[in-house]
Structure 1
């Protein structure tokens, strides 16, 4: 089995968006549950003339005609996954066409799509779990970890994000972009903090979601420490994944718990895991930046609808413009894995007032924002982006003057 085959570089650079929203009762703000989610998905299926996605006979998603998907998340939230686009402006335009129509169908059933970082009024004990067989396996696995996974169920059932996926073109491009995104993650997350509420209470922090993610599974979540090295590669990702057990696997008839041994041992002792097992195993890792066939920035809380394009625009402006990417790497050259770990903890509480190493997160964010804007301008001038691409960063101009 060629493990590296799932890290094949792309022929070009595209951008994808994953927008997670709570599906909540419009009157109470609490998660609606599957009995109300199913009719909503059925209405999307009809109105969009889409294709159904099912698990164990239950409708859990919709394949939209343009290539996007709407799926039911573990705790009853919904995720809009875009088709990939070459231009951020096209990505945002497509999302802004489809999501209002989807939200209107929810409104007709007295439901609301709620963006942000955490469903704010649903207690963990009342999460309405979706009818997905792997959920019970995951819950048992995390309970077996004890205190290090204290917030695993809250993360599974309540946290929300707006994620961006990016391509890489070669091994060298993979290394440079992975290092960039890992080092940028806590700084950029400070610009997106958007989960101050939990179970209807003000928590006193800016991102309760970020705090919860620190207690899920330290072996497969958090900062990819090896990525800060100048020689980081897909081989390091593979070695890391091989050291961990699968949480679950699909045996042809349904999901079952994974063997309680590292994936490497399964390969060595003749257990014959398949490429499908390996692909599934890689999806059972949740670092702030997840490297697979794409690089997935997962660090941000979900943003408001008005700022929808800010995350993918920021990522593409930095990562897809060589001069901006290299300038950002130079700016963060002395940031260590330990600095990033501490910054993640501090940003959750303090946002832009935190530090990354000895550097102000706010000042660093301002510099990165300027570089991202330069990158978007350059891409627009080259005809890769729409002319208004830099304007996608404008939600931040209330804090920063444009570079």
Structure 2
């Protein structure tokens, strides 16, 4: 439907429909910290070496179209779906277009991110990949000059959310992978399996152990922060965990989620926790009826670990150094795009309750692969997930959908599961050893080169 048409409950459903030409592609989003190479502290938005200057310099390098809000540049986009966007505290996110195979996706992402890193370096800063801005203090956060982010922070304050919740916006840098579904049945099959497996993927990809320059033994500060964000819109997606979620089930759940902000007549305004269902029925405060853009913005502000839009977005990983991102792509593609693997994944997790899920999530932050999920070892479950991913990936190679080289991408992920030692635990060893607690040494190791 046209974005400017007025919206009714009946209009929400067709957005999720797929026709017979729907295909399965892969997308990736890589968030990158923009930091001072000596201190590891994030770079502000303004200034000759600020993030806005970096975006302006990138604009001149290729066929980019600027994204401007309130007179400020906040991102870049291309007609093919490629996007570079600015996050709340000045981190930059690269979003790929949807691509049909892992090898092409990996090479495209690498080339684009390396170009971004070169421009950033010429302006005196560097890009780092991973899951945290590990040296910034919350009180020193350099917030982007964007009204929407300010209103979201106000929303969190009104909820009584403590500072850990705000750390999601201030410090987290992550990697997310996006997949397609081709029908409602296919959506349910994929969503239920991925949602149920979240605590294990949290452990397998735990990689954010340093906070304000201190490694206190926590393996995933990022996961810990998300546990303290708005529980109405984060964490588990209950309809999917039930095992039989329809599009209507999801819509019924999503429209009851409180809205944080909305753009009404061109102005971004607070919503004071009104649900989308209420706005559908009664309109905004001035009587204006919601449009499809309002709906799109609302479900984009739902941050469940696995997020349903007109794609399926996996948000349950801590981010990884750029050279390990191919492993994440290979792992999830092997699981999601091989029906026997995704069905076996559901059998592995189908008896988990929301209570099991929440308890395991909290435990994984500190214990990683040594945590329990229900009565089972997270490490043993991770090994089984790697096995299913490998089977799915091999099947795609055999079918000519992937290059044989992608099988090697799984090796670092498998090695984590086999050893039981997370990326975070290895980083702690490096921080206390070869890095000698030096931010400059950390940045040199994890900057995009």
Q: TM-score, normalised by structure 2?
A: 0.86
Match in the other structure for 1:132: 146
Aligned position for 1:257: 270
Counterpart selection for 2:235 from 222, 228, 231: 222
Equivalent residue in structure 1 for 2:321, among 304, 316, 323? 304
C-alpha separation in 1, matches of 2:23 and 2:178 = 13
> Secondary structure at 1:249's aligned position in 2?
strand
Q: Which of 301, 324, 347 pairs up with 2:341?
A: 324
Contact 1:48 1:64 in 2 (8 A): no
Task: Tell me how far apart the structure 2 counterparts of residues 312 and 9 of structure 1 sit (CA, whole Å).
Answer: 24
How far off its partner does 1:360 sit?
0.7
| 1:9–1:338 CA distance, 2 compared to 1 (3 A) | farther
The correspondence for 1:369, drawn from 362, 380, 386, is: 386
Summarize the Cα distance change of 1:260–1:225 in structure 2 as closer, same or farther, 3 Å threshold. Answer: closer
1:85 CA drift (Å): 0.6
Q: Distance between the aligned counterparts of 2:352 and 2:292, measured in 1?
A: 36
Which runs of structure 2 are paired with 1:194-273 in the superposition (5 Å)? 194-258=207-271, 260-271=273-284, 272-273=289-290
Matched length: 401
- Asked if the contact 2:379–2:417 (Cα under 8 Å) also holds between the matched residues in 1, the reply is no
Deviation for aligned residue 1:151: 2.4
- Equivalent position of 2:426 in the other structure: none
Rounded to whole Å, the distance in 1 between the matches of 2:283 and 2:109 is 46
1:388-403 mapped onto 2 (5 Å cutoff): 388-400=405-417
CA–CA distance in structure 1, aligned partners of residues 271 and 417 of structure 2: 48
User: Which of 154, 158, 171 is equivalent to 1:158?
Assistant: 171
- Is 1:192 paired with 2:244? no
Superposition deviation, residue 401 in structure 1: 6.3
TM-score (norm 1): 0.95
Q: Supply the distance in 1 between the matched residues of 2:148 and 2:165 (Cα, whole angstroms).
A: 14
Equivalent of 2:292 in 244, 250, 275: 275
Q: Within 1, Cα distance between the matches of 2:175 and 2:386?
A: 18
- 1:300 is paired with a residue whose SS is coil
Alignment match of 1:170 (pick from 183, 189, 193): 183
SS in 1 for 2:33: strand
1: distance between equivalents of 2:356 and 2:330? 25
CA shift, 1:259, in A, is 5.2
Distance 1:33 1:314, change over 3 A: same
Q: Report if the CA contact (8 A) 1:64-1:70 is conserved.
A: no
Q: How far did 1:253 drift?
A: 2.5
User: Contact conserved, 1:377 with 1:389, CA < 8 A, in 2?
Assistant: no
Q: CA deviation at 1:290?
A: 0.8
| Counterpart secondary structure, 1:398 | helix
| Separation in structure 1 between the aligned mates of residue 88 and residue 30 of structure 2, nearest angstrom | 15
State the match for 2:445 in structure 1.
none
Asked whether 1:336 is paired with 2:353, we answer yes
1:21-40 alignment runs, 5 A limit: 21-35=32-46, 36-40=50-54
Matched, 1:8 2:17: yes
Kindly provide the CA deviation profile for residues 166-224 of structure 1, in whole angstroms up to 9, marking residues without a partner as x. Answer: 11111111111000110122211211111111111113210001001011101111111
**CA–CA separation in structure 2 for the residues paired with 1:61 and 1:269:** 34
Q: Deviations over 1:232-253 (max 9, x none)?
A: 2222221122112221111233
Q: Contact 1:6/1:279 (CA < 8 Å) preserved in 2?
A: no
**Contact 1:15–1:91 (CA under 8 A) maintained in structure 2:** yes
Question: Aligned to 1:78, which of 87, 92, 108?
Answer: 92
- Tell me by how many angstroms 1:264 deviates: 1.2
Larger mean Cα displacement after TM superposition, 300-309 or 58-67: 58-67
Question: Would the aligned equivalents of 1:48 and 1:65 in 2 still touch at CA under 8 Å?
Answer: no
Any idea what the Cα deviations from partners look like across 1:68-116, whole Å, max 9, x if unmatched?
Answer: 2111111100000001111122111111111112111111222111111
- The alignment status of 1:17 with 2:24, answered yes or no, reads no
Matches within 5 A, 1:288-303: 288-303=305-320
Report the 3-state secondary structure (helix = DSSP H, G, I; strand = E; otherwise coil) of the residue aligned with 2:258.
coil
SS in 1 for 2:404: coil
> Residue 346 of structure 1 is aligned with which of 322, 340, 363?
363
Which residue matches 2:64?
50
Report the equivalent of 2:156. Answer: 142
| Farther off after superposition, 284-293 or 240-249 | 240-249
Q: Output the CA distance in 2 between the equivalents of 1:163 and 1:130.
A: 22
Q: Is the 8 A contact 2:383 2:414 kept in 1?
A: no
